[in-house]
Amino acid sequence: MLRYLNQCSRGRGAWLLLALTALALELTALFFQHVMGLKPCVMCIYERNALFGVLGAGLVGAIAPKSPLRLAALALWIYSAWEGLRLSYEHTMIQLHPNPFTTCDFAARFPSGLPLDKWLPSVFLASGDCAERSWTFLTLSMPQWMIVVFAGYLLVAALVLIAQPLKPKRRDLFGR
């Protein structure tokens, strides 16, 4: 299996699949926001940013999957999945154990050179309450589902990282 993951990481298809899954989740978040009227909170916006990191990793990996750029994409993928998992867990704890002393910020804190909430407010402007559970599916709230998503991304990324030193299996006409 690890050799197969190594082989997949050296092709564009797997990287594009990674980018496509992250894009589908981003579009789902925008559907929830703009069609269903669910207001994203600050933690939701930060989790979106982590998803954009996974999307970016997929695109970077697809650019040159056989070069060392693949390892930079893998590093971005692991970092984004880890941060997304951390943020989703923190968001879930805010929802499950509401506390007036533990709340999220009123507005997302972006670097002054990258004010995403000013440049693209329809995607990055937070207006919801982090403690509110406005949507559930199979008894899990949105941040709980994001824990599942980011844990899956992180698990696959860790397996791909472990597989990197392995040589891809050579196939010849006689199967040796």
The SS3 call for residue 111 is coil
SS3 of 125, please?
Answer: coil
Paired residues of 99 in beta bridges? 102
State the catalytic residue, choosing from 130, 133, 170, 171. 130
Among this protein's residues, is 8 annotated catalytic?
A: no
Task: Choose, from 44, 86, 133, 170, the residue flagged as catalytic.
Answer: 44
104 in catalytic set: yes
Secondary structure of residue 140 in the 3-state scheme: strand
Which of the following is catalytic: 8, 104, 109, 176?
104
- Give me the catalytic one of 12, 48, 133, 171: 48
Measured distance between the N- and C-terminal CA atoms of the chain, rounded to whole angstroms:
18
Considering the candidates 3, 8, 12, 41, report the single residue annotated as catalytic.
41
Q: Give the integer Cα–Cα distance in Å for 40 and 147.
A: 17
Specify whether 44 is catalytic.
yes
- 138 backbone φψ class: left, alpha, beta (φ>0; ψ -120 to 50): left
Residue type present at position 44 = C
Instruction: Answer for the pair 56, 9: CB distance below 8 angstroms, yes or no.
Output: no
Show the CA angle centred on residue 17, arms to residues 15 and 18, nearest 5°: 65
Active site residues: 41, 44, 48, 104, 130
